[in-house]
Chain A
């Protein structure tokens, strides 16, 4: 059983399109995250939700909008895609009970390529 799953694994699209990436965790965790990994492997937090409430909202363009329909899901919607959005996007989750000591569990990543 996959603990943190993401769909799709690969996403190739044209500039200007709108796309969504879905994330689901079956660990019963309270907190979920979105990270962006650029071409140099640098990982940066984008958003985090705890019990469906937004708790981290880093400086990302407002074309990116997270949505958490329930504790087990955190989706990422991206409007008007740009070339610079090409990256690998990782979803992660953590228990949420130990705060910053929590281990985060990562999904396999979604490689987004904007042409």
Chain B
């Protein structure tokens, strides 16, 4: 059974600081996805990582993938309040089905 674990599950950080969210998964996966969810809203796709060593960046967020370690990271640089949300990683071991992590609830404080 594929397991996807995120840590931390809750993260409170100050504006301007850097931090990393980790996503570990238990079996080989073709690709890895990161999503963002604002409270009471739907999920928004952030990144699709397709191969070992893949790195994608958008604004203050950078995602990377290490398929050998079965690990993806989402790095936040100089956090701002607008980044407060819940972030999910999801993996696709094959085909189109996704298995999601539990989510990391990020709060950025002034």
| A and B: interacting chains | no
